[in-house]
Chain A
Amino acid sequence: MTTPLLEVRNLRVEFPTRRGKLVALDDVSFDIAPGEILGVVGESGAGKSLTGAAIIGLLDPPGRVAAGEIRFDGRRIDNLPYEEMRKVRGRHIGAIFQDPLTSLNPLYTIGRQLTETIQTHLPVSNEEARQRAIRLLQETGIPAAEARIDQYPHQFSGGMRQRVVIALALAAEPRLIVADEPTTALDVSIQAQIISLLKRLCKDHGAAVMLVTHDMGVIAETCDRVAVMYAGRVVEIGPVRDVIHAPAHPYTVGLMGSIPAMDEDRERLLQIDGSMPRLTAIPSGCAFNPRCEKAFDRCRVERPDLLPAGATRAACWLHASTMREAA
């Protein structure tokens, strides 16, 4: 196996508050191989965006990485000083955020924002940077890029702005892109365009992607592997096809069943009763046990780690017996 581009090991993110520490991410581990697209899926509050923020070193204070480590290309990046991290971010790890309007500066032209990013990270002349910026805009499918480069963000539509944001993320040829809900704010027809664009460009540029989203459909279309998160932990991780067709964790099963399907008729959708626990009241044992139909005594006491379960790995005691038989 090739060495992973990104290694996240036992990552723990805490928010110290007056009422005590809130553990937002607990013992999260995964790898991303060079050129791979890893999807991170979960409902609001699962910690998926926080995982992305921790990797690019943009946790909102007072949030902090309390334990574990993040390695990029073998080098530890979670404890880098701010200035050092700035050089990594953008140059080696690009970021795409949900809302294309707030991630662009409304007071600068698109061209200025692109050339600034390029020149911060690469030693090129002004003219070269501009040519590069135009080329990037053309690659992301913006018509008349030479003319539009001198326009301001408000002159672009939502879909076009997200293309500019993608161009910005790719500007310094990073090897990893963290995309946090890149299509959530867009209409379905535009969403399809942006997803295929992101997929194609990352392939062309050889960049790996960590795609954070709540939309299983987007994951199915785009990713090689997927990590399912629940209450600050990865509950299942594996190849997309296996997680979708043969989910091993009861939460993943429920999540898949609650999506209205386009090709079958059901009178009722499968529903998971209750809702995701708040950070202040994470149940003991497996965090999913109060909502799980298959929960038994052990689930309420002991917290499961990721165990091999068929083709995927799931944090569920239901799969503990199969492991013992194999051993």
Chain B
Amino acid sequence: MSALVEVHELSKTFDVSAPWLNRVVERKPRQFVHAVDGVSFSIPRGKTLALVGESGCGKSTVARLLVGLYAPTQGRVAFDGKDTATAFRSSQSQALRKRMQMIFQDPYASLNPRWKVADIVGEPLKEHDLLSKTGDRKQELKSRVAELLQSVGLAAADVEKFPHQFSGGQRQRISIARALATNPEFLVCDEPTSALDVSVQAQVLNIMKDLQRKQGLTYLFISHNLAVVRHVSDQVGVMYLGRLVELADKAELFARPRHPYTRMLLDAIPDIHMSGRARTPVQGEVPNPLNPPSGCSFHPRCPHANERCKQERPALKMFGGALIACHAVEEGRI
């Protein structure tokens, strides 16, 4: 099966320097954050790749790079075989944007409170000129919006309501309906359920899975919740400080986590079923991305770190079906 999305050595650097005058007066150097640093992966058509990691690891930046909200500093993203960076700048941009849509984390912030649901979900239809040229366009828009709402489990009568009349879970369904309006092939979901309660999260995850089965959608699913990731994904990429440290099939990753950071994340999940089990809490915190550690950026928190880890940055290499960036795994120490 061919890959719908291919990402090659993608990097994004943000300039976070102080203003020019402060730099001159206080003799401060320019400062850069390498939010995403050489990330490569591909997503086969109809599959789900999940990116997990803690706050500040760059997973949301990857999402934004993919849909063209940010331009990459280095590397390239190919969608259906074509480079997106050039396509977004050309006259092809509209056609490309139609094929990929995004669902955001906060359903309270991503819907315009002054628009009715009919306008919110109908806008992509108008913007991308997806209505027939002849006939009653108003009527057609209305029936298309109603159809979309029904596909995510809302009522057709909801079109006349405003976002504040809905609960968080219902709002997230409206965002999904809006994303589906252009009939996209690829959906980028940036923490779509982390603002929701568990029972509502279950509703939204079920809808997303049903839609994938029916319409053959491809997802990039971003989350910090490994249990959710395990439920929705086919492949999982673990990110730490802007880099992928492990990329493997879901079954492989959860059965045999290899990278120490992946193990740490898995160990940190509270286990519901073994009430009272003792676990070893992980030491330390995520370092400041402005000043990342040398070598492997995980080495200050890693129980297996040695001299080589402090100096040399490990590359992503294939070990028994999984891509892992770790010297200890490479040397067979773990």
Contact = CB atoms under 8 A, between A and B. Distances in A.
B293 to A, nearest CB: 15
Contacts of A157: 285
Interface string B113-141: 00000000000000000000000000000
B144 interface: no
B213 to A, nearest CB: 9
Nearest to A215: B270
B230 A258 contact: no
A220 B277 CA distance: 9
Interface stretch (B29-37, B103-111, B193-201, B311-319): B193-201
A214 B281 contact: no
Given A43-B199, A255-B199, A261-B227, A189 B265 contact: yes
A85 interface: no
B24 interface: no
A71 to B, nearest CB: 29
B282 interface: yes
Interface string A252-292: 00111111111100111111110110000000000000000
Nearest to B169: A275
A159 interface: yes
Given A43-B197, A270-B202, A192 B227 contact: no
Contact of A271 (B54, B170, B203, B275): B203
A47 B279 CA distance: 31
A159 B285 contact: yes
B268 interface: yes
Interface in A167-199: 187-193, 195-196
A188 B199 contact: no
A259 B196 CA distance: 12
Given A188-B224, A271-B199, A271-B203, A216 B268 contact: no
Nearest to B287: A157
A192 B279 contact: yes
Size band of the interface chain A makes with B: 35 or more
Contacts, number: 127
Nearest to B283: A193
Contacts of B330: none
Interface residues of B, number: 43
B203 A273 contact: yes
A22 interface: no
B83 interface: no
B63 to A, nearest CB: 18
Contacts of A128: none
Contacts of B265: 188-189
Q: Which of A218, A220, A244 has most B Cβ within 10 Å?
A: A220
A195 B285 CA distance: 15
Interface string B172-214: 0000000000000000000000000111111101100100000
A187 B194 CA distance: 12
A302 interface: no
B93 to A, nearest CB: 36
Closest 6 CB pairs of A and B: A217-B270, A258-B202, A43-B197, A260-B231, A269-B202, A187-B54
Interface of B: 54-55, 167-170, 197-203, 205-206, 209, 224-228, 230-231, 254, 264-265, 267-277, 279, 281-283, 285-286
7 contacts: A188-B265, A192-B267, A221-B279, A259-B202, A260-B202, A269-B205, A271-B203
Given A44-B168, A256-B272, A259-B198, 14 more contacts: A192-B279, A193-B281, A193-B282, A214-B197, A221-B279, A240-B276, A244-B272, A255-B198, A257-B202, A259-B227, A260-B231, A261-B227, A269-B231, A276-B197
